[in-house]
Structure 1
Amino acid sequence: MGGRFRTRLRNALERGRSVGVDLEQFGIHAVLVGIIVVLTIPIGLAFLFSTQTAVEVYEILHLAPGGSLLENYLTVWTEYNFGTYMRNSLVMTVVIIAGKLSFSLLAATALVYYDVPYQRYVFYVILFTLMLPIPVRIVPLYQLLVDVGWANTFAGLTAPYIASATAVFLFRQRFRSIPASVVETAKLDGVGPIRFLVYVLVPMSKGMIAGVTVIMFISMWNKYLWPLVVINDQGSQVVQVGLRYIQGAAAGGLTQWNLVMAGAMMALLPPLVVLIVFRNTLLNTFGVQRE
């Protein structure tokens, strides 16, 4: 009898633990679902408004999808030249990312694997530039570009963003974590500095490079202030300034928020594609296991 009682008691306790774990998992998933819903509500509303007419958007209680989806998107793409703005943003972003990755990888390699004079102080100076972002020094920087003839040019739009102290810091920390045995093996094999960077450091840092690329892409794609200041030609502007142009084109005294939201939804697509492309590498970098 005593053995049966202990067995039933043990089984009951195990069922209780199982129920407790299930409830805990349910609570965690409920919280995550709630967070996802809250985060997606603005995107859902933006898409909803992009299907409505300008008058329907101003009707607060009108939350039904409209019938102007194709009309709104075609109007934004053709009449407001939104395709041109997106192309300009894409070219600007790709050039800046390529420049940032190249300079940052080379700088990090030099700081970690070469005997640079005053190496630590050079690194501190690089970090100090984080305290002086472009919006802080925008007036003297713009005057400098005017003096060298780069105002209202693609070079003036991209050159100030080529260097990245943040990327140098992240790559430096990543390279410092690579085992010394790998470096010694490369030296014994006679691997040169560029080959060592391309064939050893870059493959071993794919996750970090992917993460930095995604962050830089989203940051550059959303640039507004500097392009607005340095570019005077409307046809050379970027997507965020293009959205501002659409917002300023009022019809009948009303801002056409339906067109603004249509443009915003199109502007959302390239960063979303980049996140999807790099999702596996990012998940592996952050240690998230996919089932």
Structure 2
Amino acid sequence: MVERKSIFDFLPHLVLLIGILIVAFPVYVAFIASTWDAATIANGTMPLRPGPHFLENYYRTIFVGTSSSTRQPVGGMMLNSLIMALSIAIGKIAISLISAFAIVYFRFPFRMPAFWLIFMTLMLPVEVRIYPTYKIVADLGLLDSYPGLTIPLIASATATLLFRQFFMTVPDELVEASKIDGASPMQFFKDTLLPLSLTSVAALFVIQFIYGWNQYLWPLLITTRDDMQTIVIGIKKMIVTQDALTEWQLAMTTVILAMLPPVLVVIVMQRLFVKGLVETEK
């Protein structure tokens, strides 16, 4: 029996391909621009094929420096962003795991009010608490430092809520078996809950890494030294709005470099990321 395929069967694929082209074409243009010189881009004569300045532009951007507006190599900016993203992702997961573990498995006064206070912080955007947070960080002398960049952004109500919901689905029989074996609460947490939470941890790591990598407002406020600026801040400083000519080839090179770490994290952890999202929904 031969099945007849309708033209409408290809419609979802066509829509998907169109969406991919819409998203990927600007990225392709940015990559092409990163391989040409400034004059070609400024004159509007840039072809849609790679140019001869690929190695020159990327070497200058990563190791030498971009322009007078940033005065720092992008390699240092990427290191700052990497430290910030990893610290935020690991810190958020660690604190959220312990917080959710305490809320679900321990009985202490004001346990539920504490959880609802954590949950209510979801309604407060960063901009609402940006000034008191900045004031505390400044008073503690944490400006232009990695602790100042990361510690105020580590707490996460979203991750705490997700881990709490997951821990509540863990069968009580596992808790009773751990008690019979004489395991302490932290042993139960380390030997039972952490292995079960691996996929959820992976999914949250990807989300929080990208969240930390793309931070703009907080690093803009907390850093004043050029050697502490992140790559997102560097991109903004490269786009000159005054009479000086923006070095677009170096700006596009920085954009491409800024995309690589989040893309690599998603690719490497794709399977665990998708599995973690599916299990979280269950």
TM over 0.5, shorter chain: yes
In structure 2, the gaps of 5 or more residues are 66-72
Residue aligning to 2:70: none
For residue 36 of structure 1, report the CA deviation from its aligned partner: 1.8
Change (3 A) 1:286 1:31: farther
Partner Cα separation in structure 2 for residue 174 and residue 29 of structure 1 = 35
After superposition, where does 1:156-175 map in structure 2 within 5 Å?
A: 156-175=148-167
Question: What residue number does 2:24 align with?
Answer: 40
Partner of 2:188: 196
Change (3 A) 1:126 1:286: closer
Number of residue pairs the alignment of both structures matches: 271
Aligned counterpart for 1:205 among listed residues 179, 197, 200: 197
Structure with larger Rg: 1
Give the match for residue 136 of structure 1.
128
In structure 2, distance between residues paired with 1:118 and 1:139: 29
State the secondary structure of the residue aligned to 1:178. Answer: coil
Q: State the alpha-carbon separation in 2 of the partners of residues 153 and 172 from structure 1.
A: 32
Do the aligned residues in 2 keep the contact of 1:97 with 1:217 (CA within 8 Å)? yes
Residue in 2 that maps onto 1:119: 111
Contact 2:31 2:252 in 1 (8 A): yes
1:96 to 80, 88, 92: 88
Q: SS state of the match for residue 183, structure 2? A: coil
Render the CA deviation track for 1:192-218: whole Å, top value 9, x for unaligned: 222212221111111211111000000
Per-residue displacement from partner, 1:14-66 (whole Å, max 9, x unpaired)? x4xx214x645433222222222222112111111111222222344633232
CA apart distance, 1:180: 2.0
Partners of 1:109 and 1:172 within 8 A in 2 = yes
The answer to whether the Cα contact below 8 Å between 1:249 and 1:256 also exists between their aligned partners in 2 is: no
Going from structure 1 to structure 2, the CA distance change for 1:195 and 1:23 (only over 3 Å counts) comes to: farther
Other-structure match for 2:259? 268
How many angstroms apart in 2 are the aligned matches of 1:271 and 1:163? 21
TM-score, reference length from structure 1: 0.86
Given residue 122 of structure 1, which amino acid in structure 2 is its aligned partner?
A
Aligned position for 1:29: 13
3-state SS, counterpart of residue 137 of structure 2: helix
Q: Distance in 2 between matches of 1:27 and 1:64?
A: 29
Mean Cα displacement is larger for which, 275-284 or 264-273? 275-284
Shift of 1:109: 0.4
- Separation in structure 2 between the aligned mates of residue 238 and residue 210 of structure 1, nearest angstrom: 24
Give the 3 Å change call, closer, same or farther, for CA 287–135 of structure 1 in structure 2. Answer: closer
CA distance in 2, matches of 1:135, 1:162: 16
- Match of 2:59, as an amino acid? L
Conservation of the 8 A alpha-carbon contact between 2:203 and 2:274: no
Alpha-carbon offset, residue 287 of structure 1: 4.9
Q: Is the 8 A contact 1:110 1:116 kept in 2?
A: no
CA contact (8 A) 2:235 2:251 kept: yes
Give, in whole Å, the separation in 1 of the partners of 2:74 and 2:223. 16
Quick one: which of 86, 109, 113 aligns to 2:78?
86
- For structure 1, which segment, 52-61 or 169-178, has the greater mean C-alpha deviation from structure 2 after superposition? 52-61
Counterpart check, 1:110 vs 2:110: no
For the 8 Å contact 1:85–1:237, the answer to whether it is kept is yes
TM-score, length-scaled by structure 2? 0.88
- How much has 1:103 moved relative to structure 2? 0.8
Rounded Cα–Cα distance in structure 2 between residues aligned with 1:194 and 1:247: 51
- The runs of 5 or more residues in structure 1 that have no matched partner are 1-10
Q: RMSD across aligned C-alpha pairs, in angstroms?
A: 2.1
Percent of residue pairs identical: 36
